A and B are shown apart, each in its own frame.
Chain A
Amino acid sequence: MPIQVLMPALSPTMERGNLAKWHKKEGDEVKSGEVIAEIETDKATMEVEAVDEGTLGKILVPEGTNDVAVNTPIAMILAEGEDAVALKDGGAPARQQKAAESTPPAQAEQPKPQLARTPAPPPVQPPAPAAPLEPEVPEGTEMVSMTVREALRDAMAEEMRRDRDVFVMGEEVAEYQGAYKVTQGLLQEFGAMRVIDTPITEHGFTGLGVGAALAGLKPIVEFMTFNFAMQAMDQLINSAAKTRYMSGGQMAASIVFRGPNGPAARVAAQHSQDYSSWYSHVPGLKVIAPYSAADAKGLLKSAIRDPNPVVFLENEILYGQSFPVPKLPDYVVPIGKAKVVRAGTDVTIVSWSMGMSYSLKAADELAKENISAEVIDLRTLKPMDLESIMESVKKTGRIVTVEEGWRQSGVGAEIAASVTEQAFDWLDAPVVRVTGKDVPMPYAANLEKLALPSVREVVEAAKAVCYR
C-alpha cells in the first residue's frame, strides 16, 4: 500500500510552513532516512526524511508552495512492487509517514523550544477579530495584518532607532535571530554591540542587565522562556524592583524583561507555567501581558520607555497569530489601561494574553444562547485597571475571570477580592474563576488539555453566574 508523507511540524506550535524544495522527483528511489524535501517557516528550515524504502510515486505539493498546513499529505511513497496505478485507486493509504518523525532543523544544538519533536499540535483556531475600538488610533488609520512576533520585533527596532541607550540581550537573540525569531533582523540592523548573545546564565545576565540599567542604560532582557527566569528571581525582585524605593528615589532600573510565558504545547511541567500572579505580586514591577499584535507593539514600546522595571509576558502560541495593527509612525499603548474588546450586557469576562483566546470564543458561543458577554482584556496586570472592571461589573452584575495560571493566589483571586470590596452591591452572583488546574502541567495530550482552561469551562462559568 502507498505511504503518505505528511507536512511535518517544526515545533509544537507550528501550524503552517512552506515547501521550499524537493530533493527527489517522481520515480526516484528513496531509502529510509534519506532527505527527500526541505520545508521552512519564518523561524527555521528543516529537512524531511523518508521513513520507508520505495519509490517516490507522486508529489502532491510542488516545491515553492507556501502556507502548507501541518499534516497535509505532500507525497506518496510506493513500496516495492507497487506502481503508480495504485495511487489512482482512490483508496486511503494504509500507512502514513508520520510528520513528527522528520528530522529537526540542520542546526543540531537547538534551544529547548525546537527540541520538542512532538506530534503536530491540535490546530489552533485563528483568533476572533478584535473589536476595532481603539482609543489610541485616529479615525481612518490604515490597519495592516501582522503577527504578534513581527509586532514585537518592530517595537524593539523602532525604540532602538529612537534611543541609543536601548539594547537587547539574551540567549540566541543575535546570530540565531531569536529562539522564537522575535529578534529577527535586529543584529543586522543594530550590530553586535546592541544585540547581544549571552551565555546560558540567567542569574548572571539578569543581574548584569540590572547593573547596566542602574548606570542609565535601557536594556531589554529576553528570557528564552519565563520558566528560566526563576533562576534569576533574586535579581528581578531584590535588585530591579526594590532599588528605587531602597534608594529613596535616587536610583532605579529602567529595564524590560520579556519572553514567552505560560503553557506552550506539549512541553510538560517545567516549561509550562504562567507567572502572571508571581510578578504582579511585587511592588516596583510593572507587569504587561498582551493578547493582540497591536497591543504587543504599542505596549512594548511603552515598556521600553518606562522608567521602571517592566515584566513583559508574551505567549508562544500567540506569536504566529495575525492581528490588524495600526500603521502609525509611533504607535504607543498606555500601560495600565484595560480594553473592552467586546461590549456586552449580561456578564463580564476578564482575561489577558492567551486567556483572551478562550474568552472571545466563549463569548461567540454564549451569543448563540442569547447571553451577551462583555470581554475585557486587562493587557496590564500591574498596575491593574480595576476601574474598567468595576465599570463593567456595575453594568452586568456578573463576572468570570479566565487565566491559565494556577488557582490559589492567582490573578483571578485578586480580581474576585477587589470586586467583592468595590462592587459588592452590584453583584448578582458570586465571582467565578476559570483557571489552570492545581497540578504541574502533564505531558500527555489529553491530560494537558484537561489541565488548561477551555472554552467550554468559560461558557459554563458564564452561564452559571447568569443562573442559566
Chain B
Amino acid sequence: MAVASSKAAAARRTTDQPAAVPEFDKEQELRAYRHMLRIRRFEEKAGQLYGMGLIGGFCHLYIGQEAIVVGMQMAIKEGDKVITGYRDHGHMLACGMDPKGVMAELTGRRHGYSKGKGGSMHMFSLTKSFYGGHGIVAAQVPLGTGLAFANKYRGTDNVSLTYLGDGATNQGQVYESFNMAKLWKLPVIYIIENNKYGMGTSVARASATIDLYKRGASFDIPGERVDGMDVRAVKAAGDKAVRWCRDGNGPIILEMLTYRYRGHSMSDPAKYRSKEEVDKMRTEHDPIEQVRSRVLKKGLANEEALKKIDAEVRALVNEAAEFATNDAEPDPSELYTDVYG
C-alpha cells in the first residue's frame, strides 16, 4: 500500500541523527572554500558600503550561514530552481549570479540585476534559475511550491529548493504549501535555515515546538536535521533529498542548524544574545574555518594556495564594489518601465 510505505519512509527519514558525513575530495573542498569565502567577503564588503551610506534601506547579511547554500548548490543540477526570502545575497552568488550585478543592485544602480529597482531583497535571474529574493516572511514558500508544480506539470525531474528561515515556519502559508506539496507529490525541498533567531526572538520564545524538521509530520513529509555549519553534511543531506524528490516521492524538509554572526539587518545591534555566544560559534564552528583546517590538515593545499584563493576572491569582491560605486543611477525614465509587459 502506497500510504503505508510512504509512512515507513517518513519514519525512516525524519531524524535528527547526523548521518556519517562523507569526506570531500580535493576539488570539492577547494570549491566549497572558494564559494563560501566569496559570500563571506562579499557580505563584509556590503556591510562596509552600507556603513558608508552607499547601500540604503534593509540589508540582511548571510555571514555565518554560507555552508548551506554552497552545500545545497553542490547537490543540484542544471534546471533545478532556487527561491528564498530576504537574506538572499548568498543564494544569488551561489547560483552563479555576477557579484557586480548583485552589488550594483545593492547600491541602487542601473546595472544592478533589477536595474536598481529591486534592492537587497528583490533580485532574480531566469538564466541562473534564481526566482528571488522575497521580502514578506514565508511568501516564497507557496511560490517555491509553485515552481515545483511547474516542474511536475512539464514532466521534468527538476526540483525546487525553497529556502525559509526559522521565523517563517510559524506562518500559515507554509503549512498550506506543505499540504499541497504532499497531496500532489511536488518535487520541492524545503530548506529551513534555523539561525536560532527570528529577528530578535529566539526560536524557543516563538515556537511551541522547536524541532523544526518535524514540522511536516502532520502532512507525512519526512524531515531531517542537518549540521548547517558543515558543508559536507549539507551536501550529503542535499544529495539524499534531491534523490527523494527526483524519484517522485514528493516534498522533503531539511532543517539546517546554523548561526548568523551579524544582526538581523544592518540596523540591528543584536543585544538579545551575548558576545560570548557569537564568539563561540565563530571560533568553534565557522563553516569556512572548518574547511580551511581540513584542507591544511589533509594536505590538500598549502597556506600559499589558500592565500591565492583569498586574494582572488578579494579582487573579485573589490571589483564588484568598485563597479557598484561608480555605476550610474537608473535613468529617470526607468521610473515607469517594467510595470506591465
Report the Cα distance A387→B18, complex, angstroms: 67
- A205-B180, A235-B139 are contacts. A252–B341 as well, Cβ < 8 Å? yes
Is B143 in contact with A207, judged by CB distance below 8 angstroms?
Answer: yes
Determine which of A201, A247, A249, A307 lies in contact with B176 in the assembled complex, contact meaning CB atoms within 8 Å.
A201
A251-306 interface (Cβ within 8 A of B): 251-252, 283-284, 286
A207 touches B142 (CB 8 A): yes
Chain B residues within an 8 Å CB radius of A217: 149-150, 153
Are B338 and A245 in contact, with the CB atoms below 8 A? Answer: yes
B146 touches A212 (CB 8 A): yes
> Once the chains bind, are A243 and B115 in contact (CB under 8 Å)?
no
Q: How large is the interface on B (under 10, 10 to 19, 20 to 34, 35 or more residues)?
A: 35 or more
The answer to whether A140 has its CB under 8 Å from any CB of chain B is no
Inter-chain contacts of A283 with B (CB < 8 A): 339
Interface residue from A193, A210, A238, A250 paired with B146 (Cβ < 8 Å): A210
Q: State A234–B143 Cα separation when bound (angstroms).
A: 12
What 1/0 flags go to A190-230 for Cβ under 8 Å of B? 00010000110101111111111111110000000000000
Chain A residue with minimal CB distance to B151?
A215
Bound-complex Cα distance A212 to B186 (A)? 12
From B70-78, B126-134, B254-262, B308-316, give the one contacting chain A. B126-134
Residues of A close to B151: CB separation below 8 A: 215
> CA–CA, A212 to B151, complex, Å?
9
Determine whether A181 belongs to the interface, using a CB cutoff of 8 Å to chain B: no
- Complex Cα gap A246–B150 (Å): 22
Query: Contact between B173 and A207 (Cβ–Cβ < 8 Å)?
Result: yes
CB <8 Å contact, B339 and A214: no
Interface check A308, CB cutoff 8 A:
yes
Kindly list chain A residues whose C-beta atoms are within 8 Å of the C-beta of B125: 250
Contact residues of B between 71 and 115, Cβ < 8 Å to A: 81, 83, 112-115
Q: A247 touching B132 by the CB < 8 A rule? A: yes
Asked if A207 and B139 sit within 8 Å, CB to CB, the answer is: yes
Contacts of B52 in A (CB 8 A): none
B333 on interface, CB distance cutoff 8 Å: no
CB of A18 within 8 Å of the partner chain: no
Separation of A331 and B118 alpha carbons in the complex (Å): 38
| Residues of chain B from 116 to 165 with CB closer than 8 A to chain A in the complex | 116-118, 122-126, 131-136, 139, 141-151, 153
Cβ contact within 8 Å between B150 and A212: yes
Flag if A244 contacts B143 (CB, 8 Å). no
Among B143, B145, B146, B183, residue most surrounded by chain A Cβ atoms (within 10 Å): B146
Residue of B135, B136, B153, B340 ringed by the most chain A CB atoms within 10 A: B340
What's the nearest-Cβ distance from chain A to residue B190, in Å? 13
On chain B, the residues within 8 Å of A193 by CB distance are 153
**A-facing mask of B299-341, CB < 8 A → 1, else 0?**
0000000000000000000000000000000000000011111
Q: Is the CB of A213 within 8 A of B146?
A: yes
Contact partner, B131, options A205, A207, A209, A251, Cβ 8 Å = A251
B153 and A212 form a contact (CB under 8 A)? yes
Knowing A204-B177, A212-B150, A214-B147 are in contact, say whether A234-B136 is a contact too (CB < 8 A).
yes
Q: Bound state CA distance, A76 and B123, in angstroms?
A: 71
Q: Which residues of B contact A215 (CB under 8 A)?
A: 81, 131, 146-147, 150-151
B249 within 8 A of partner (CB): no
CB of B172 closer than 8 Å to a CB of A: yes
| 1/0 contact string of B196-234 vs chain A (CB within 8 Å) | 000000000000000000000000000000000000000
Q: Nearest-CB distance from B141 to chain A (Å)?
A: 7
Is B179's CB within 8 Å of the partner chain A?
yes
| In the complex, A81 has a CB within 8 A of chain B | no
In the bound assembly, the distance between CA atoms of A204 and B341 in angstroms comes to: 26
**A239 lies within 8 A of B131 (CB):** no
Q: Does A132 contact B (CB under 8 A)?
A: no
A354–B111 CA distance with the chains assembled, in angstroms:
47
Per the bound structure, the CA–CA distance linking A308 and B177 in Å amounts to: 24
Q: Nearest Cβ distance between residue B24 and chain A, in whole angstroms?
A: 32
| CB-based contact A239/B143 at 8 Å | yes
Distance in Å: Cβ of A240 to nearest Cβ of chain B: 10
In this complex, what residue of A is CB-closest to B155? A193
> Does the CB pair B143–A201 fall under 8 Å?
no
Given A211-B144, A215-B147, check contact A198 B126 (CB 8 Å). Answer: no
14 further A-B pairs in the complex, CB-CB below 8 A; given A214-B143, A235-B139, A250-B113: A199-B176, A207-B145, A211-B83, A211-B131, A212-B146, A246-B114, A247-B114, A247-B122, A248-B114, A249-B115, A250-B114, A251-B131, A283-B339, A307-B340
Residues in chain B within 8 A of chain A (CB atoms): 81, 83, 112-118, 122-126, 131-136, 139, 141-151, 153, 172-173, 176-177, 179-180, 183, 337-341
A to B CB contacts below 8 Å, 25 in the list:
A199-B179, A203-B176, A204-B142, A205-B142, A205-B176, A205-B180, A208-B180, A210-B143, A211-B142, A211-B145, A211-B149, A212-B146, A213-B146, A214-B131, A215-B146, A215-B150, A217-B153, A234-B136, A235-B139, A238-B134, A239-B134, A245-B339, A248-B338, A286-B340, A307-B341
